[in-house]
Amino acid sequence: MIGKNIVASAYKDSHETPLQAINPATGLSLEGDFFKANQTDVEDALVAATAAFETFRNIHKDKKAAFLNAIADEISAIAEVLVPRASAESGLPIARLQGELGRTTGQLKLFANLVAEGSWVDAVIDTAMPERQPLPRPDIRKMLVPIGPVVVFGASNFPLAFSVAGGDTASALASGCPVIVKAHPAHYGTSALVGAAIIKAIEKTGMPKGLFSLLFDDGYAIGSALVLHPLTKAVTFTGSYNGGMALVKLAQERKEPIPLFAEMGSINPIVLLPEAINTQAEELAKKYAASITLGAGQFCTNPGLMLAISSPELENFKQVLAAEISKVPSATMLTPGIANNYIKLSTAVHAEDGVELLSASTVKNAELQNQSEAKVAQVSAAKFIENPKLHEEIFGPYSLLVVANNVAELEQVIAVLNGQLTVTIMAAADEIRQYQSLIHLLTNKTGRIILNGVPTGVEVCAAMQHGGPFPATNDSRFTSVGSSAIHRFVRPLAYQDWQQEFLPEELKDSNPLEIFRMVNQQLTK
């Protein structure tokens, strides 16, 4: 049983028609009634979150770490129910979601360890210098502190890892901020199950009530109200460009503008340099056919663009790629809206001047609803450069091959690209040395540059950068994946001339991290 949905206020005895989740593969409704939040729920959630913030921000880091680990444990405990429900609501295979569940709990544990270790607050201490001339220096100590309630929008393509207890929620809670989640309308049941797990972890670890709330809606009203509410201090969003920019505008037009971190799409170009094509044409074609169609192409790092220089070997690459794409079975997309948009955009781009369809999937399952058809097309560099419509993301199992006449023309293609989450270069070592100007152009366009790999797959670690220049994200200084994601929800605060007993633990001279820093300074003098 999915049971009663978890909302900011109590379960509603309402006369309104309940919301129901839909299985995108069958088009049938799934078990569970879920009720739309209203303005009262928004108010209640943010008032409760603000009250919880005053307590949670000062809770010892070890207790916060225990809370994050408890969320991971509670989610793991419902895996047998959660994974099948997530599959039914998304059309994603069980094996994929089992892996995503591991990523979700792994992220929570990563942030638990980060909080327990403590150095992420970037404590800086400049002790007083009363004898300094011509003026004495005061004692100044600075650290990062949480900013307040954070609103998280669940993502369609990761019902676990980028949703209710995903990286945004984990990093916000780790920073000391309460979280209000606006559930994605495709994942009502999944969201309710994970929300209940978080509430259970709050109760088990004695965290303050109001630390977490989950609201449901099938439109835009509640999301807009959450962004505009004066008690909201930051927002995260993963989705379309139009949706992201609409929220960015709302956040900027508030009386008190707030940070809104929007991941809005990327075509993740693959640059196939000549030697790589000359020596690995068949291998690369098979590798990228698999990457393009992985998860029905519904990854934010899906390789939607391939750039290469015309050659006989490239023709071999195209033949193998076309053959591999034709064999890929059609698959259910996440929602009817996403499936319809994919068909619309992929069909429209093939009507553009110079675009030629290379291959499309010929394997279909008549029993499935909302199916994707894998496609690859090609266009000349000159046509690509002059047509901005070809530079836009097509969310799904689609990729466009852009063929240049030479390296100079390839650089012209790169110059017109928008900002990207990832860029991949397939090249030999001597090509890396030879094409430095091309590589420098690429680094200006992306948050992560990959050598001889595929972009699909994002490692959750300290060094990961999942964010790129606009319009991939609206603020390329931050990442939504990895431990650095915590920095989205904090601000620096300096204490001047405070006595030791009144300082935060992280800024006291007795703090183990500060003692280590001071000893290290002495050793390196």
Per-residue pLDDT tens over the stretch 5-64: 443 333 444 457 899 999 999 999 999 999 999 999 999 999 999 999 999 999 999 999
When pLDDT is averaged across residues 123-152 and rounded to a whole number, the result is 97
pLDDT of residue 17: 87
Does the pLDDT value for residue 96 go beyond 50? yes
Helices (H), 350-474: 381-386, 407-415, 429-434, 436-443
Give the dihedral of Cα atoms 406, 419, 296, 343; nearest 10 deg. Answer: -90
pLDDT of residue 369: 87
Q: Quote the CA–CA distance of 171 and 208 in Å, as a whole number.
A: 18
pTM of the model: 0.93
CATH code, residues 39-264+479-489: 3.40.605.10
pLDDT of residue 371: 87
Catalytic residue at 263?
yes
Active-site choice (74, 100, 263, 313)? 263
pLDDT of residue 9: 35
β-pairing verdict for 375-380 and 356-360: antiparallel
- The dihedral through the CA atoms of 213, 214, 216, 220 has a sign that is positive
When pLDDT is averaged across residues 258-277 and rounded to a whole number, the result is 96
pLDDT of residue 511: 76
pLDDT of residue 513: 63
Residue 238 Rama label (left phi>0; alpha psi -120 to 50; beta): beta
When pLDDT is averaged across residues 172-177 and rounded to a whole number, the result is 98
Does the pLDDT value for residue 430 go beyond 80? yes
Average of per-residue pLDDT values in the chain: 94
Q: Quote the CA–CA distance of 7 and 41 in Å, as a whole number.
A: 8
At 120, the pLDDT band (50, 70, 90 cuts) reads very high
User: Tokens in use for 100?
Assistant: 């995503």
Does the pLDDT value for residue 521 go beyond 90? no
At 517, the pLDDT band (50, 70, 90 cuts) reads low
Active-site choice (74, 100, 300, 373)? 300
pLDDT of residue 7: 39
β-pairing verdict for 371-372 and 356-360: unpaired
pLDDT of residue 514: 59
Instruction: Name the DSSP class of 193.
Output: H
At 3, the pLDDT band (50, 70, 90 cuts) reads very low
Q: In terms of CATH, what superfamily is 269-451?
A: Aldehyde Dehydrogenase; Chain A, domain 2 (3.40.309.10)
Element (H, E) at 52: helix 39-56
Packing angle of the helix pair 94-117, 79-90 (nearest 10 deg): 120
Does the pLDDT value for residue 1 go beyond 50? no
The more confident residue out of 510 and 320 is 320
- The dihedral through the CA atoms of 163, 166, 167, 171 has a sign that is positive
Give the gyration radius of the chain's Cα atoms: 25
pLDDT of residue 13: 47
Q: Among 264-273, 275-284, 450-459, 512-521, whose mean pLDDT is lowest?
A: 512-521
When pLDDT is averaged across residues 151-165 and rounded to a whole number, the result is 97
What is the CB neighbour count within 10 angstroms for residue 35?
Answer: 21
From 217, 216, 220, select the one nearest 250 (Cα to Cα): 220
- b/e code 346-363 from CB counts within 10 Å (16+ = b): beebeeeeebeebbbbee
Does the pLDDT value for residue 147 go beyond 80? yes
Q: Which H, E and C letters describe 467-525, residue by residue?
A: CCCCCCECCCCCCCCCHHHHHHHEEEEEEECCCHHHCCHHHCCCCHHHHHHHHHHHHHC
* Domain limits, the chain: 39-264+479-489, 269-451
**Contact call for residues 168 and 162 (beta carbons, < 8 A):** yes
Omega within 30 of 0 (cis) for the link into 178: no
Does the pLDDT value for residue 516 go beyond 60? no
pLDDT of residue 368: 83
User: Tokens in use for 387?
Assistant: 């047509």
From 333, 318, 417, 410, select the one nearest 368 (Cα to Cα): 333
Catalytic residue at 461?
no
Does the pLDDT value for residue 138 go beyond 50? yes
pLDDT of residue 520: 53
Per-residue pLDDT of 342-389, as tens digits, reads 999 999 999 999 999 999 999 988 778 888 899 999 999 999 999 999
